[in-house]
Amino acid sequence: MIMSLVESFTTELRRGTLTLAVLSQLRVPQYGYSLVQRLEKAGVTIEQSTLYPLLRRLEKQKLLTSSWDTSESRPRKYYVMNEYGIELYEQLKTEWKTMTVELTTLLEGDEHHESD
């Protein structure tokens, strides 16, 4: 019971950070699977069925540019942040940093209370 609640809250917490995590890897062009591997390496698990639609949505919102690379044996679709995407990413990053600082303060305050 508690476990499934923890899971659902964690999913909720993570969902908001996914966009930021994906954008952070797209300063250089990446194709879908390479992105999955990079994120996994960093410990960020993301369902593939979440990632690919997310990439398309970000492209539709004009944050990413995509291009098909057909020079190799396997054609691959590469995604990369454009200028607008980079701008938005920087702003999001600032927001995130503020948020973590605020939350850390709150959480540490909590620990102090516990030790009192």
Which residues are within 8 A (CB) of 34 and not within 5 positions of it... i.e. 6 or more apart? none
Among 1, 41, 60, 115, binds another protein (CB under 8 A): 60
Residues 6+ apart with CB under 8 A from 52: 32
Interaction of residue 52 with another protein, rule CB under 8 A? yes
C-alpha torsion angle, residues 7, 8, 10, 15 (rounded to 10):
140
Hey, which residues between 11 and 50 contact another protein (CB under 8 A)?
31-34, 47-50
CB of 98 to another protein, least distance (A): 28
Contacts with another protein in 70-99 (CB under 8 A)? 74-77
Query: Nearer Cβ to another protein, position 41 or 60?
Result: 60
